[in-house]
A and B are shown apart, each in its own frame.
Chain A
Amino acid sequence: MATNGSAPKLVNVMIDGRPAAVGAGTNVVDAAHAAGVEIPIFCHHPKLVPVGMCRMCLVEVGTPGVDPATKAPILDDEGAPVIKYFPKLMAGCTTVVSEGMHVRTGTPAVAEAREAVLEFLLTSHPLDCPVCDKGGECPLQNLTMRYGPGRSRFVWGEKFHYPKPVPVGPLIALDRERCVLCARCIRFEDEIADDQVLGFENRGRGMEIVSFSDPPLDSVFSGNTTDVCPVGALTTADFRFESRVWELESRPAVCPHCAVGCNIGYDTRHGRVLRVMPREHDAVNEIWLCDKGRFGHGFTTAEGRLTHPLVRDISGALVATTWDDALTRVAEALKRTVAEGGPAAVGGVAGATLTNEDAYAFGRFLRAVVGTNNVDHRPKVIADDSVHRFGAGADTIVHALGAGHAIVVVGLDAEAEAPVLFLSLNKARRQGAALITLSTAPQKLDRHASHLRAVPGSEATLLAALVRAALEAEYEPVDGASVPSGALPNAAVPNAAVPSAAARVLADRLADHGPAAVHGVHPVDPDAVAQAGKALASAGGVLWIYGRSAVDAGLVPLMAAYAAATGQHGRAGTGLVAVGRHANAQGVADMGLTPDRLPGHARVDDAAARERLADVWPSLPSSEPGLDAGAMLAGGVQALYVLGTDPVGDDPALDLRANGVRTLIVQDLYLTPTAAQADIVLPAQSAAERDGTFTSLLRRVQRTYAAVDPVGHARADWKVLRDLAARYGDAESFAAPSDVFDEIARAVPAYAGLSYAALGPAIRTAPTDIFLPFAPLTEARSVSYIGTRYENRHGIGAAWLTPAEATYAAGDTAAHEAVAADGGEDAFAGYAVAADDALHAAAGDDLVLIPTAILFDAGRLVASSTVLHPLVPRPFVAFSPFDALQRGLVEGGRVRVTGAGGTFEAEVVVQDGVTPGTALAPESLGIAVRAAVGGERAGRVRVEVVAAGPIERGASPTPAPRPSSSPSTTATVTPGQI
C-alpha cells in the first residue's frame, strides 16, 4: 500500500499450475486467492489471524526437494526442481508460502477431505436454509453445493437440537444448531474491535458461543460478527425474517451518522430500507461498520417525519401548505427583512449533516443572493484554515499506518465519536504505530496507547509540553552539532520533513512549557510526556487526529504549528485530521458555511477568492465577516434560516423569539423543538433519499445515492434554495445535484477537476489501486472468502489535496520548496500557550464536570431505530472510585449536579480511569450537561446525593422515553388542507 514505504519481499509459488508472486508471510489460501484459485474456507478470514480450526482449506503442499548430503536442490532430467509433497494434507490458512512452493487443490485426496469436512460440519446442521436469513449469501450453502458430498451418512435423529435463536447480545441472535464453531466472531471482537466479549464454552459437540459481558456482547461493532459469520448462526435483530436476500435491491450510499464516511449499501425491498450493509472501501472502512451505522436506519421511514411545508395560520398553529406558497412566503419575509434592516439582518445556520451540494447551495443563497455573510454551521470543529493548510496527506489510510508512524489523538473519544476510525487506529497500533492519546476523559483507546491525561481547563499546557518534548528530541545535539533526528521512511518523497527554522522559533516559544512543567498540574508523569515527545520525534510521520474537545480547548493552532514547523503535513500519515461529530463536518467547512470564510476556506476579503467567485455567483457579499451561530441565535439577526440543525433541542432554554428573531424558517426532517418555534417549516429529505457528496474526515469526497423515495413532499435542500433564489430573479437553474457540484468545482479550488463522473466507477483504477488484492474476484467468490459485504462498484471518491500538497503533486518544484521552507511561521505568529486554568484547583467539595460524547445518544437518529433505542442509557454521571468513596456515591444511586449555568439529576456510575476531582457526563442524553457548565468544555459543579443506592435493585435499565411518533407540539397537520 502506498503509505507503507518499502514493498515486502516477494515469494514465487505455483498453485494448480498458475504462477504467483506474493509477499513473504502470505498464507497459502491468500496466495491462491491472488492467483485466482479458490481454496474453500470457513474459519480463515483475510482480516483475521489464521487459526486452522475448520480444516476446510486442506490442500496438497510441496516444496523443492533438497539433497540432504549436498544441500543442493534435486533436479529432474530437464533441470527443473523436483517437488517433494508433504505426505499429508496441509491446512492452507496456517501454512505460509515459501520460495518455489507448489500447491495442488484439485486432487482426489483434497476433494475427499473437503467432502469429509463438510459432512462433519453438517452432522448437526438443521438444514433450514429455506427459513434462514443467511440463505442465498451463505458460504456454508455455497461451499456445500460446490464441494459437499451430496448425501450424509448421519441421520436426522442423531442431530443435536438447541432452542432456536437465543440473543447473544441486544442486537445479535445466535442459532447454535447452525454454528460451525469457526470463531470468526470471537476473533473479530478480540482482534479488530478489542472487545473480549465473545468466547467458547464447553468442548466437543457441546461447544457453543457465549457472552458473559455486562451487558452481553458489549461492543459497538457487534453487527460485523454477522457479516464475518460464514453460516446463519449469527443474525441481526433488525433483519431477521424480513426478506430473502435475493429480493433486496442494494443502493450505494455513504453513512450519514459520523464523519468517517463509511461506504454502505441500503438494502431495500419495495422501497423500504430493511438493512444496512458495509460496502468495501480499503481506504475508509475496509469491510466494517459500527452498530449505529448498521442499525440506525429508522430515519428512512416515514414515522414522525415532516411531509408538507407548514406555515402559521391565523390562530398561530402550523398548518400544511404547498411548496409554492411556502417558498413565496419565505422569499417575501426575507426581502421584507432586508428592506428594513439590510442584508445583515438575515442569517442562516446549518447542520453538519448536509451534503456538499446542499451546504454550498445554502451558502450561495445567503451570500450571493441575499447578500449576507451571516452564515455558520454547528457544531463546528473546523473554524479556521488549519486543516486546509496543514491537513493530512490525501493518500493517508489510517489503518495502513504502522511502525515508523506516530498518531496523536487529541480531545477525541474515537470509539464514541467516529467508531470505525477507532478500528483503524487499533489496527495501526497493532501494526506498530506509536499511539498517543491526550484528553481529559478516559477512553477505550487508552488501553494500548501512551495516554496523557490533562486536567480540564489546562489542556494547552500539556499539549505544549508534548510539542516541546518532541522538538527537544528532534534537536538533540549529536557530537556537539545540532541535527534533526527525524528519519523518514522514504527520502524520495517530495516535501520530506526538514525541520525548518520555524521549528526552532516554536521550540523557543515553548521553552517554559517543557515536560517538567506538567508536574503537579496534570495527572501524568513528566517522563511519560518526554517519552511521547521522543516517539513523535523519531517517527517518520506524525498524524494529529483531534475532536471537538480539542477545538474547544484551543489546541488546534499548536498542533498546526508543529505540523508546519516540522514539515509533517501533506504526506501520507502526516498532518491534521479534524473529526466532527456529524457526517459532513469537513464538507460544510469546505463549502464556506462559516461567517469569515468563503467556499474553499478563503477569507471573505480575500481578493483572489472574490475574483474567482465573481465569475460564478450573481453578486458578492461584503468583505466584512458576518455573525457566528451563537450571535445569530442570540438575536443578532431578525430573520433566521435554520437548515438541518436543532439548537433549541440542544438547549431547551433557548427562546429565539425572546432573543429577537422575528422571522424563523426551519428546514428539517422532523418537527424539532426549533421547528416548533418557526414561522415556516420546510420538510427536508433524509440522507437515504438524496443524491450528493459527503467529504470525510480525511477529506475524501464520496458520492451518495438516493436509496428510497422521499417521504411525503420532502424536497432536496439544494432544490429548495434554487427555487428561493429564482424568486430573487437568480438565473442559475441547477437541474441536478451534479450541476451544483460542477459549480462547487469552480468555486472551491481544492474541488477543481472533481465531478460526479470522476468520483464514480471510473476512478477505480486510480494510481494507488487499493483494490488490487481483491480485484479479479467475482462477488460469489468473495462472499465465501471475506464474509457478507458488498464490493465497491460505485467509485472510491477522491480526497482533495491541500495547496501545499498540490504544488508537489503537480511537480511544481519551486513552489514546493517555497512551501517546505515556509514552515508556517505565520500560523503561530501570535500564538501563546493558554495559561493553566484554575478550574482543577476547585476549592472545597466542587468537582469539575466534563461533557463527553456517547455513541448511542438520545438524538433523533438513534431514537428512530427500534433496536438501538433500548441501548440508550439513562442519563448518568461518571465519578472516579476515589471521589465515589469519599462522597459515599454508590453505582446506581442518584445525584443532583449544579453548575453555574444550570442543574440536572442523573444516575451515578463509578468508572476506573476518571481523574479524581472530575466527573464525566455525556451530552445528548436529554440532560442539560453543556448548559450546566455554562456552555464551556468543562466547569465547576456541586454534587449532592439524592438517592444513596440503586432505586430499583436488579431492575433492568429503562431507556429514555422515545420521542412520540407524531408531531405533537403546537402543530396541527392535516394533509387534506392542501
Chain B
Amino acid sequence: MPTALDTIDVIDHAAGLLPGDALHGARRVRAKVVEASQASHDALLLQPVDGLSPADRLRVAAHVCTLAGAPSLEQHYADRLADAPDCAEPSSPALPAMLAFAAKLTTDPRLGDRAAIDALKRAGLGDAAIVALAQLVAFLSYQLRVVAGLKAMRAGQEGTR
C-alpha cells in the first residue's frame, strides 16, 4: 500500500521526509489523506483528457511551481517531463493560454473571471479539459503548501533536537 511506513510519496520526497522520521510517521496518522493526495497527483497527470496531453500538464505543473517558489516540486515535475513518453512531441498550440490561466490561478485566485475561461475555450479546450486543467493547478496550490508546511515543521525540529 502507498501508505506503508517504509515508502515515500511525492510529498515526502519534496519535503525531504524519510521513513523513520517523526513527520513521515505523523503524516501516516491520516493515511486516507496521504493516499488521496498521491492518487490525485497521479490522476491529474495521467488520466486521459482530450486536448490536454500528459507532457503539457507537466509543463504547466513545473511552471506553477516556479511561480510559487516551490523548487523541490518544480524539480519533480521537470524530471517527470523528461521521462514522459510524449515529451519530445510538440506542445499544444493552446499551451500559452493554459500557462496564462495557471499563472493567474496560482498567484492570485481572485483574478479568476469568465474571460479567463473564454480564453481557454477560444484556444480550443472543451469543458472537460478546462475542469482537468483547473483541478491540476488548484491541486498544486494544495500540494506545494503541504510541502512548505512540512518543511517548516522539520526545520523547527532540527533546531530544537
Same complex: no
Residues of chain B at the chain A interface (Cβ within 8 Å): none
Residues of chain A at the chain B interface (Cβ within 8 Å): none
